[in-house]
Amino acid sequence: GESVGLHLPTLSVQEGDNSIINCAYSNSASDYFIWYKQESGKGPQFIIDIRSNMDKRQGQRVTVLLNKTVKHLSLQIAATQPGDSAVYFCAENRPGATNKLIFGTGTLLAVQP
């Protein structure tokens, strides 16, 4: 069925360490992927995106890697800070007339001081 799933529901890291959040997607036709961050009581906030013709994209302290062979997506956060504590969702865009975003179940990132 349609699904985008995450390997780890909870990730605990020390402040200053690098974090890696993983995501598996099921539809090989998906052409666009986004990582969102959701803090408690707030709506999801865009972090970084990547199109299927790329395998890596870097932002400020964040890097997204896309492996289309195994349908895997990861978000790397460098020098994790307490403010990074949140739930992170990956989303895939199913192309076609609807272009709707399908979200994964989320990973809770807990940054320990």
In the list 77, 93, 109, 111, the residue contacting another protein (rule: CB under 8 A) is 93
Q: If binding is defined by CB under 8 A, does position 44 make contact with another protein?
A: yes
Among 13, 65, 78, 102, indicate the residue that binds another protein (CB under 8 A). 102
CA-based radius of gyration for the chain: 14
Examine residue 34 and tell whether it contacts another protein (CB under 8 A): yes
Number of residues this chain uses to bind another protein (CB under 8 A):
23
Asked if 61 and 37 count as a contact pair (C-beta separation under 8 A), the reply is: no
Nearer to another protein by C-beta: 14 or 99?
99
Among the listed residues 6, 2, 4, the one whose alpha carbon sits nearest the alpha carbon of residue 88: 6
Encoded one letter per residue, x for contact with another protein by CB under 8 A and - for no contact, window 55-84 reads ------------------------------
Nearest alpha carbon to residue 21 among 11, 30, 13: 11
Q: Output the furthest CA–CA distance in the chain (Å, rounded).
A: 46
Neighbours of 35 (CB within 10 A): 25
Which residue ranges make up the site for another protein (CB under 8 A)? 31-32, 34, 36, 42-46, 49, 89, 93, 95, 97-106
